Amino acid sequence: MSSGLTSAFNAAASRGFESEPRNYDPRLRLFSAIGINDTATVQKILMEYREAAGWRNAQGMTGLMAAAQAGAKEAAWILARAPNADLEAMNANGSTALMFAAFEGKAAVADVLLKAGAHIDHVNAKGHSALMSAAAHGYRNTVALLLDSGADPTIKDFEGVTAVQFARDNEHAGVADLIAQAAAVFVPKPKAETDFKNAGAGMTAANSNPPPLTQEQRDAQNRTAIQQLEQKLIKAGLVG
């Protein structure tokens, strides 16, 4: 399977990735595959189109968001480690893939995203966090995962509502108690540490202005990225 993935990439590169029929829409095919957790098709498209992990559907969702919403754990694992994957990409409401997973109660996908490095306390345009979304729907397993992974249970949205209140207002008493217990012993990270990391990220983005790549360089970059993805899939036991 390993040599097969590399062969598929080499074959696609040699034909310039342009041999599909005119009515072939790789973007639609990718999102259809994600919806049914068709990992073989997801892998194929990611091999042929380096930018595919950043594509969005008609609703403005990335592949990772779609995988989170559908509970497609294996597809999410692949997409989170694909070239150009952005775990912090947001939709029009400022929600990330992790927030989609929390809103739908897809704990397994949330775990994949967290292990890949997703920011656990990101808030959307309303100030809602992933923990708040899971709490409001009473998803105990997802709430427990987020708390165990270090989610801040004391965050308030822009109206001053906490995750505990979201759970109580929606009659999820057990979930509310679980969050309240975590909030009682929660120790937030030093603000200076968070600010430093954010500042560093901003400086990196501001100072990054690489020259355009040649087609040969892009092909070589794609080949390296696919080989790395291939090794990750093998290590994770997703391919033989």
* pLDDT tens sequence across 118-137: 999 999 999 999 999 999 99
Ranked by mean pLDDT, the top range of 16-25, 44-53, 66-75 is 66-75
Query: What is the domain range of residue 83?
Result: 1-91
Asked if the structure places residue 98 within a domain, the reply is no
Asked if the structure places residue 221 within a domain, the reply is no
Asked if the structure places residue 210 within a domain, the reply is no
Asked if the structure places residue 190 within a domain, the reply is yes
pLDDT of residue 41: 96
Asked if the structure places residue 102 within a domain, the reply is no
Q: What angle do CA 163, 169, 174 make, to 5 degrees?
A: 70
Does the reported pTM lie above 0.85? no
Q: How far is residue 97's CA from residue 62's CA, in Å, rounded to a whole number?
A: 8
Distances in Å between the Cα of 97 and the Cα atoms of 68, 72, 119 are 6, 12, 10
Asked if the structure places residue 6 within a domain, the reply is yes
Q: Are residues 134 and 72 in the same domain?
A: no
